[in-house]
Structure 1
Amino acid sequence: MTITVDPSRLSLTREESTYLAIRTTQGGRTVYTTRIPLSELPVILSIPDPAKPDPDNRRVDPNHAKGFGSYLAENPGWVAPALLIRDTGGCRFEPISADGTVGYLTVPWAIGGIGRLITIDGQHRVLGVHLEKKRITDEIARIDRETVRANEIKKQKLEEEREALILRLQRLKEEFIGVDIYVEVDGVRGQQMFVDVADNAKGISGAVRARFDTSRIANRTLTDIVAHPLFVGKIDVERDRMTLTNRNLMGAKQVADITRSVIAGPAGRVNKKVESLTDNEVIESVRGFLDVISTVFTDLAAITEEDVDNYHPSLSEKRKNEPPAPPTKAMQLRVSSLLGSVGMLRVLGGVYRNLKEDGVDDGDIQEFFKRLDRHMGAPVTEQSIWRTTAANEDFEPNASAPIMRQQNIIHLTKVITDWYKKAPAAI
């Protein structure tokens, strides 16, 4: 009897993987650029342990890593930059192009391979993929166990869940991510590479994230909301913090925060119900709130009417032999009024939401807010309603803004909402 064995069908002992790569140079080092399946990241790279930081890298944040895995699962249109990896001497490159720049790159596995690769930038992506793979395979195993004792109706549902999970697992095998591998054997120079990458990386501000992150409804509607007369031309689209010298009313991130207060309450927790709102519903609600406050609060009405040319950034720069431009009304507001605090605007947004949910119309809300207008001066005095009522616990002495802790914002919103039905004598 003759037996024919196909060696290609056998899974032999392997401790390395081979990819097509391009060889270039950067900073005097050889760099191999390739793309690998997401599922193979935890194979060729060590899985970061949050409890035991790699001596060549920073401690990994498990929640951030898990978030990347969830992002992959929930976003078919995901995008992520290339990982930066250090080759400590274990990679082999076999040129196949005439100029030697294109070839086969063989890299050692993280476990069992000799001369392992070290992650410079990308730890959370590696751990995130690992956690997502584990979650999917654990779920499939759970379904297989439950299927054995399930009735026919339950079996059909379990089978559908299983097929969906298999498709997710297949995506991790079929979708690729870029990897740049720097050849650097010297450990000290390798650590310096990590420092250099960290020093030269520029994170994005909350204002920029609010402008471009369309996955969240408060950000997605931002362009339409900042077109309101109160905001137009007066929003800083780059910075998060409003210093006394910033000529703008607030940053784009703060606009998104106010939006969340109006549609989700002062805690700003956007649940599935809120996310199910259409963009137009959100825009209409927030613009309704802005219409109210820009009408009844004297200082905000003045800012609404102010010439936006006064907010041009170049005016904040003192020219030679010229006095600086006079401050904008927004700059003055931060000094003289509680309305200059985004925290107070978030509170008012929450009050507006609460009253609307109780069936109060905008006209009655206007009348209520108008009674608060004369109490918006800052800093607050010991005789003000903010220090002589239940709002006292939400304001420090001589404060120009409420305490920004979440519990204080929530409490102050409730206090003012209750005033609509039973107001203190001062209002």
Structure 2
Amino acid sequence: MKETVRILVVGGGYVGMYTALRLQRRLRAGEAEVTVLTPDPYMTYQPFLAEAAAGSIAAAHVVVPLRSLLDRCTVIVGEAHRVDHARRTVTASTLATRYGGGGDIELPYDELVLVPGSVSRTLPVPGLAEAGIGFKTMEEAIGLRNHVLHQLDIASTTRDVETREAALTFLFVGGGFAGVNALAELEDMARYATRYVHNITADDMRWILVEAADRILPEVGATMSEYVVRELRGRNIDVRLGTRLDSCEKQTAVLDDGTVLPTRTVVWTAGVKPHPLLAGTDLPLTGAGRLKVTATLQVDGTEHAWSAGDAAAVPDLAADPDGATACAPNAQHAVRQAKLLADNLVAGLRGAPQAQYRHAYVGSVASLGLHKGVAHLYGRKLKGYPAWLMHRAFHLSRVPTFNRKARVVADWTLAALVKREVAALGSLENPRAAFESAARGDHPPQE
């Protein structure tokens, strides 16, 4: 009797979730068992992070619970630390490990899908580790929203000129999709919030976007990129191209053009890099640290190992038939690669032929705040309100599950009918603080 094949998916992002979902639909009963090892029990739909930060979409509606979606897979919440493909094992720590409930666990497998994704790419900028704010996870997005609103509260209640100026200066580093979307949505939200904040007007705030290259949003083309710069500058946003951040220590940012900015907000969105887990494997890597894979999404020269998405250098056969160019690490490729990876893995188990990945890039869309956007899709260029509608329609079609689509539409509908929610819930980051203070007797009893 043939033994059940053990498939281990390391990573619960785009590729991990879609691969596991496809596998549980394609595999026959008893053919294989699928285990997903993921640091979070949900997948975050990152294109909606900026709208979640601005309050247009509820945070819970931008994430997909993996256990309910992957109901025929085993989902383990934990962090992979080492991959030993020669022994077919992955060493990981779980939540129980973190809280003293035992040591690391070892997960054996027959087929490995290694898709841990990427992490923020940082540079050795003095003060960045202490002052910088990322924008890659839902926790970071909601934390940034609370932070921005908190700065308005600080500025409205202080009499110190320097403290006020630092609170009302918001610096974003990186002019890709994440940086531009986050800045545009949050500036829109903060501008609206100043209607209700004492002593502050929209003109008191200073928003700066710093980009080392000579253009922002290169994916939408030169013409549309120039339009975005004009649109942002028309909203009094200071866009600085060909500029870098030199330091951000002691609530002071220094740019390489000599500009000194007092600021309490430095948002870092200057790209991503492969997950550090890849360096601890015995699998072949490229010079950039991504896994070497073939067009069938198998790890090059290695049996029973697969990868795709940000972690893999997948040959872009649509752009370069010779396969010398790798696909860009974006969601558009990741979702399609995941489905083919699952199909090829199942085909391999059944001795069937495998297909090569080939997908022509269809373009990009970006939101620039409420009713504002830019799009370059299928050769068509849109800007303003039509582009904003295209952005919403395009990403709504990509959000996994009907449940999440319905919730997002409900959020948008409600947001169109009522005022924006501009309350800062900073206590969410430390919910036990009030109780701890009371338990220590820090507060006098109230009469």
Q: Which has the higher strand share?
A: 2
Q: Normalization by structure 1: what TM-score?
A: 0.23
Q: Which has the higher helix share?
A: 1
Q: Normalization by structure 2: what TM-score?
A: 0.22
Higher relative contact order (CA 8 A, sep 6+): 2
**Computing the radius of gyration over CA atoms, which structure comes out larger, 1 or 2?**
1
